[in-house]
């Protein structure tokens, strides 16, 4: 079945019945004081917008689990906070005289197209706000739910730049379905870039995180590069798994249940939060070879923007 047709069918099914794991989740609707969060890291932009806090994709390696400590809960996958007024807050921020039209990365911490978005429909409101203000947008996602809004993204593309970054870590579904249980297959995500390309919308791949001994084999890496190239990806950024803070314990607890044969080997590589230098050197040599083979560069070219007025970020993001 064609990707868009398959997506529309699955979306209709999702709307016809409750999302199956709602009984495990606590959904809390909150009001955002501000929509935009400034940070010094320019990848992919200095400005982030997060529609949700917490994420229903339930990726065992998720780096963003630390963010829930500010919300007085550690249940990143089960306590989902929904910013029901996010579009209104964004419109207010874009309307400020201090706003200079910088590109904004949506889903820098948590995915705006996670399963709950099928019900809350906040992303269409956000995209319309970007259209109204002709503001450049970057979207980072691992969900084909984005295809629901492809017409709106095409409309935005006519008045401002749009770039979609698709997360990909494992082609093999026997692995992918265990480490990202509530996300769509990696191949579908990569083919989504091809559908966007047909509308003139550019995109790239975030091959991250790569898990040592599990998803770092030559077959998996080459398959992701190949599919990225076949679907007109402009960039591919690769990164080995980081295990900062609480992520490390959660990750190894899951790995002990899912892939116990790899736990000892992976732990051997991590004295702290990062994989050792010997592994890093060998891995990025592989990536360098694949970049040359498929002519895929590292990441989005930096946007040249006026000097930021960071007053918008002084109120902590909620």
Task: Give the pLDDT confidence of 139-190 residue by residue, as tens digits.
Answer: 999 999 999 999 999 999 999 999 999 999 999 999 999 999 999 999 999 9
Whose CA is closest to 179, among 266, 24, 55, 61? 61
Query: Rounded to the nearest 10 degrees, what angle do helices 218-230 and 186-198 cross at?
Result: 20
Q: Specify the pTM.
A: 0.85
The pairing of beta strand 36-38 with beta strand 47-49: antiparallel
Whose CA is closest to 289, among 213, 222, 217? 222
Domains annotated on the chain, with CATH: 26-291 (3.20.20.70)
Give the contacts of 296 (CB within 8 A, at least 6 positions apart). 205, 225, 228, 229, 233, 235, 236, 290
Give buried/exposed letters for 276-288 (b at 16+ CB in 10 A, else e).
Answer: eeebeeebeebbe
Per-residue pLDDT at 298: 79
Per-residue pLDDT at 56: 85
* Average pLDDT of every residue of the chain: 85
| Interval 207-221 mean pLDDT | 97
Per-residue pLDDT at 71: 47
């Amino acid at each position: 079945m064609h990707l868009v047709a398959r997506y529309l069918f699955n979306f209709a099914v999702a709307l016809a019945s409750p999302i199956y794991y709602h009984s495990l989740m606590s959904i809390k609707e909150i009001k955002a004081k501000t929509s935009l969060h400034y940070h010094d890291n320019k990848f992919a932009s200095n400005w982030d917008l997060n529609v949700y806090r917490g994420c229903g994709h339930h990726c065992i390696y998720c780096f963003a689990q630390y963010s829930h400590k500010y919300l007085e809960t550690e249940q990143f996958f089960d306590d989902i906070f929904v910013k029901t007024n996010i579009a209104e807050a964004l419109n207010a921020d874009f309307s400020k005289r201090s706003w200079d039209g910088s590109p904004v990365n949506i889903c820098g911490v948590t995915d705006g197209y996670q399963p709950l978005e099928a019900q809350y429909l906040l992303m269409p409101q956000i995209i319309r706000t970007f259209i109204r203000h002709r503001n450049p947008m970057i979207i980072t996602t691992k969900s084909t739910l984005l295809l629901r809004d492809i017409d709106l993204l095409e409309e935005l593309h006519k008045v401002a730049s749009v770039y979609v970054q698709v997360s990909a870590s494992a082609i093999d579904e026997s692995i992918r379905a265990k480490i990202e249980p509530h996300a769509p297959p990696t191949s579908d995500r990569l083919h989504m870039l091809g559908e966007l390309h047909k509308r003139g919308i550019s995109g790239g791949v975030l091959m991250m995180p790569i898990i040592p001994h599990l998803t770092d084999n030559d077959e998996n890496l080459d398959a992701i590069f190949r599919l990225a190239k076949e679907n007109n990806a402009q960039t591919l950024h690769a990164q080995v798994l980081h295990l900062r803070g609480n992520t490390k314990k959660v990750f190894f607890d899951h790995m002990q249940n899912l892939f116990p044969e790899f736990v000892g080997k992976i732990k051997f590589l991590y004295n702290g939060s990062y994989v050792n230098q010997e592994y890093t050197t060998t891995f990025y040599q592989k990536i360098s070879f694949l970049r040359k083979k498929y002519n895929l560069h590292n990441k989005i070219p930096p946007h040249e923007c006026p000097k930021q007025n960071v007053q918008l970020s002084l109120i902590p993001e909620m």
